[in-house]
Amino acid sequence: MDFILPFSQAETLLREEIKNIKECGYFDYKSKNPSFSISDYLENKGIMLGLLIARTKTEERVVLKAFSGALSSSYIVEGFTPPCFSVNAFEEVVSEYDSKLHCYTDRIEMGEEDLIPTRRLLSNECLEKIKELYTFYTINGKIKFSDIKNLNYTTGMGDCATIKLLSYCFKKGFTPISLAEIFFGHDSDTRKDGNLYPPCDEKCKPLIKYLFNIDLLYSDDDIAIINKDAGLLSTPGRGEDKWDSASVRIKALFPDAPELPSCHRLDMDTSGIMVFAKTEKAKREISMQFESRKTEKVYEALLRGVLTKESGTINLPMRLDVDNRPYQIVDFEKGKSALTDYKRVRIEVLNNEKVSRVLFYPHTGRTHQIRVHAASGLNLPIVGDRLYGERKEFERLCLHARSLSFYHPTTGEKLTFTSNPEF
């Protein structure tokens, strides 16, 4: 399971909270409001409960609780973090549309099926107004749904316990430490009472990326795994305009991490899996694995043209072209050994030209190794490679670090993280 934050501390406290709730019979077990009885949830439905441990700017520990959606039709419940919208504004929008929608529904059920498109338009109009009510606080500001491009919005997005907790945490200027979500109530096909679950892929993770300012896939006490966007530096470059990077964003999210938490690098234009260390010990351990080639990496790329061979190995030594930095060249006399296996996935059509989707398995880690081996070893440069091929308008470098395997610096367990490319 991909937990975005360490969960053990929060899980312990949350299970204690759930024990108190069950013993008392009310979710707000301190005030015991009859409206929030747990009986209906145990018999007919369930709800996700979340708990976040955070640290204030004065190094104090705070504990936040939240529930997903509404609790017995209420969004504000004593002891739980509020939703990410104004409840009064929400109720105004609902009251504006509710009676109209019910009227159309009744008429449709009576046989006026020609009203279905009208009702759908009205429902979508209501939904758009509700979406605009949401404000999410992030690690470096705040956003609304309209600020997020290409978001595949689904009903209920923004109402999960995790989103409420993180948004409220950042609103207060806290640092998140440990997070856990447990399902409470009647078992369903997808959820079991008392089970711990990571943030859901459909409604949580698309928003968490923007709350964290980084696409965090997993973290524990020692490591953090991200899916780096193309165009983002791995580490800070020279000059203020090159300071923003994955390392800087990880350090902002985890202030106790090493000053430079990256254990390896990806080219700025390359997207994909990266691992960062949250302790100096973890950084030493993982960096040594990269140096001794104990890690396993898989890259996915689109090559411009048709690759006729299904698989093979490219063995071309490389070195820096000192007169044309950062360009790398093949040099059989002075170059360092560079070995890459490859496997063709399929031939595709991209913008009316044939391209080859290929998996690369590098055995060495030379700068621009896959880019050079594709262009010089296969004579098919990567789509969008402005150094070793060409970049047409609106193209990106179609190279993605698809998979990374390494050994956990503390447990010794072999871990593998994967992500699919956006091309």
DSSP-derived secondary structure letter, 363: S
CA distance 199 to 161: 9
Both tokens of residue 99? Answer: 């009676």
Collect all residues with Cβ–Cβ distance below 8 Å to 4 and sequence separation of at least 6.
Answer: 179, 198, 199, 208, 212, 216, 217, 218, 219
Residue 189 catalytic?
Answer: no
Cβ-count burial 275-314 (b if 16+ within 10 Å, e if not)? bbbbbeebbebbbebbeeeebebbbbbbbbbebeeeeeeb
Both tokens of residue 246? Answer: 């994955």
Collect all residues with Cβ–Cβ distance below 8 Å to 189 and sequence separation of at least 6.
Answer: none
Contact 51, 10 (CB under 8 A): yes
CA distance 328 to 388: 9
CA distance 71 to 34: 12
Question: Closest by alpha carbon to 398, among 416, 420, 377?
Answer: 420
Both tokens of residue 265? Answer: 């690098």
Q: Choosing from 267, 269, 341, 385, which is the catalytic residue?
A: 267
Instruction: Find residue 178's DSSP bridge partners.
Output: 53
CA distance 331 to 71: 67
CA distance 75 to 82: 7
Q: Tell me which residues are annotated as active site.
A: 267
